[in-house]
Amino acid sequence: MKTIVWFKRDLRLHDHAPLMSARGDVLPLAIIEPSWLGAADASARHRRFYLESLADLDRTLRAKGSRLHLAFGEVTDVLSELHARWPFAEIHSHEETGNGLSFARDQAVAQWALAHRVHWHEHRQFGVLRGLKKRGRWASAWEMTMALGVHHTPATLSYPAHAPQGLSWPELMRKVDALWPLDARDDAPERQRGGRQAGLAVLEDFLLHRAYRFRGGISSPLTAAQAGSRLSPYLTWGCLSMREVVQAISTRREQLNDIAPEHQARWRASLAAVLSRLHWHCHFIQKLESEPAIERRNVNAAFDGLRNEGALSPDEQQRLQAWANGHTGYPLIDACMRQLIHTGWLNFRMRAMLVSFATHHLWLHWREPGLHLARLFLDYEPGIHYPQLHMQAGVTGINTVRLYNPIKQQQDQDPTGAYVRRWLPELRDVPLSFLAEPWRMPTSMQARAGCVLGEDYPMPIVDAVQAAREAKVRLHSWRNQPDARAAAKVVFERHGSRAGGKNHRSNATRTAVHAPRASREKVEPLSALQTELNGLTSAPSAQASFDW
């Protein structure tokens, strides 16, 4: 039997259910899709990280006796051409909860497979359940999923003897360069590099050294780059599996008895906090899995019309561009945006602040700021991204509305000014007493500091205090309408977290998940969950920043 293993955002061999479930002559397939990699939410940094990860995967396959079959084009076109030359009977892949394009592509693949009598097996990758209607048992299902043993990397593999040739790497890169010629100029020079080997090195460094500082170290942009795990892009692109990371944390917790007693409490608290983030990672992706339309519209329809949902006015365009380029006149906002542009990463609290400022202080609809951030986040995960946009924009009706004061945040999170001075060189010589509010500097001091407001650095784009006050009035007035309160109950029933998830910090670490997919419309009854999970090792099962 001829079988395809289709690698998507699961660029690894370890803990890879599709690969372990495939039988017969197995062809590892990677398809570079122009529509997906050139979409409105994609960027050069995504494509480069993806290609680096593909190359790393190909090297690993070759070391075991196989290789990637590389193809360039839309998936159904590639499958049709390949099937005509090498009539395969099965496709194995992971489920994916991605953007609308990936959803539509998977629906098209399902139709193609049906028309060509090809059996498509989809395997669950995260703790995300297809067909879930209510959240009542989700936390327990996550625990069960994470407690399954990993699929170990095969010792040897073989490439089908008479399979057609795919593209060579030089041929593939010529096609990529022709479509995206500017990618050669990396748009994030200090970003993390792709590939499983890089991801494993980050995981090891974090668990052995940096995790100690996680709890209490991830709020400030000064410390978060070292205190955070930095694993998020490797989970987003599947270089590491969620389950293996959970199990690695479990192993590390068991080793803590060997370290000095005075350090154990902080280590344990930090590792528990990391596990909490892993749990929330899947919790948020489940929202998009259950309701794909939230990529385009408010999760709570009662908030439709709160902000301008049409074409941006000239004033809105100006506000958006100032925010997107890091020129709002608020130093911490601008420093965070410029770090993100340069590195592809920012800690969660500062990400939330950027969205809050755009949607509340600048009163922009979340969609355009969201697309800009999606292109910048190296770890862009649609299932986390869009629910977080809704939460920070205050359009869920079930979450606390948070407005961040950019001046106070700078004073709290960057008390010495080191962070702002690093990313805003034009403010390097501004005295600390004026660094959070440079517009308060006397003219003579501006000249001495080499920072003339309105020339070297912009005046504030809005009055933050007044803009926040107006946003609060609008939000609370809208939120208290009967329709909004009624709709909020529906949102909570479908997407809200449940108390059952509180035990995930202790339970999930005792052992660690994954498994298959078709389309999000397929209903997967929860009553069958335990049976499915128990049978994972013998048969395929089913799928899917935070920026930790």
Residues making up the chain, counted from first to last:
548
Q: Of 171-175, 191-195, 308-312, 474-478, where does mean pLDDT reach its minimum? A: 474-478
Hey, what are 222's tokens?
A: 């000064």
Residue in this structure with the two tokens 């359009």, named with its chain if needed? 395
Q: Find the largest Cα–Cα distance for the chain.
A: 80
What pLDDT, on the 0 to 100 scale, is given for residue 496?
A: 66
Rg (CA), the chain: 24
Residue in this structure with the two tokens 């998507």, named with its chain if needed? 8
What pLDDT, on the 0 to 100 scale, is given for residue 534?
A: 35
Residue in this structure with the two tokens 């792709």, named with its chain if needed? 194
pLDDT tops 90 at residue 479 = no
* Alpha helices in 91-222, H assignment, sequence order: 100-115, 138-146, 169-179, 196-208
What pLDDT, on the 0 to 100 scale, is given for residue 497?
A: 63
**What does the DSSP 8-state code read for residue 503?**
G
- State pLDDT tens for residues 327-377: 999 999 999 999 999 999 999 999 999 999 999 999 999 999 999 999 999
Phi, psi of 94 (to 5 degrees): -85, 150
What pLDDT, on the 0 to 100 scale, is given for residue 261?
A: 87
State what percent of residues in the chain have pLDDT above 70. Answer: 90
Average pLDDT rounded to a whole number, residues 88-100: 96
What pLDDT, on the 0 to 100 scale, is given for residue 396?
A: 87
What pLDDT, on the 0 to 100 scale, is given for residue 481?
A: 80
- State pLDDT tens for residues 173-203: 999 999 999 887 778 999 999 999 999 999 9
Average pLDDT rounded to a whole number, residues 238-249: 95
> Which residues have C-beta within 8 Å of that of residue 331, sequence separation ≥ 6?
406, 410, 420, 424, 427, 435, 436, 438
Q: Of 182-196, 248-262, 432-446, 493-507, where does mean pLDDT reach its minimum? A: 493-507
What pLDDT, on the 0 to 100 scale, is given for residue 140?
A: 84
Hey, what are 111's tokens?
A: 């139709």
What is the distance between the alpha carbons of residues 416 and 428, in angstroms, rounded to a whole number? 12
> Which residues have C-beta within 8 Å of that of residue 339, sequence separation ≥ 6?
221, 345, 346, 423
- State pLDDT tens for residues 205-214: 999 999 999 9
> How many helices and strands in the chain, by DSSP H and E?
25, 5
3-state secondary structure of 534: helix
Q: Of 293-307, 323-337, 447-461, where does mean pLDDT reach its minimum? A: 293-307
Alpha carbons within 13 A on the beta-carbon side of 324: 17
Average pLDDT rounded to a whole number, residues 287-314: 92
The string of DSSP letters for 519-533 reads -TTS---GGGHHHHH
104-118, 150-164, 524-538, range with greatest mean pLDDT: 104-118
- State pLDDT tens for residues 56-85: 999 999 999 999 999 999 999 999 999 999
> Which residues have C-beta within 8 Å of that of residue 307, sequence separation ≥ 6?
359, 363, 364, 365, 366, 393
pLDDT tops 60 at residue 492 = yes
State what percent of residues in the chain have pLDDT above 90. Answer: 75
Hey, what are 3's tokens?
A: 């079988």
* Structural domains in the chain, sorted by start: 2-156+169-178+512-534 (3.40.50.620), 196-292 (1.25.40.80), 301-397+399-491 (1.10.579.10)
Supply the pTM of this predicted model.
0.89
- State pLDDT tens for residues 15-62: 999 999 999 999 999 999 999 999 999 999 999 999 999 999 999 999
What pLDDT, on the 0 to 100 scale, is given for residue 504?
A: 41
Tell me the β-bridge partners of 488: none
3-state secondary structure of 229: coil
Average pLDDT rounded to a whole number, residues 389-398: 90
State the average pLDDT for the chain: 88
pLDDT confidence tier of residue 537, bands split at 50, 70 and 90: very low
What pLDDT, on the 0 to 100 scale, is given for residue 290?
A: 87
pLDDT tops 90 at residue 321 = yes
What is the distance between the alpha carbons of residues 464 and 403, in angstroms, rounded to a whole number? 10
Tell me the β-bridge partners of 380: none
Cα 58 to chain center, whole Å? 24
What pLDDT, on the 0 to 100 scale, is given for residue 494?
A: 66
What pLDDT, on the 0 to 100 scale, is given for residue 498?
A: 52
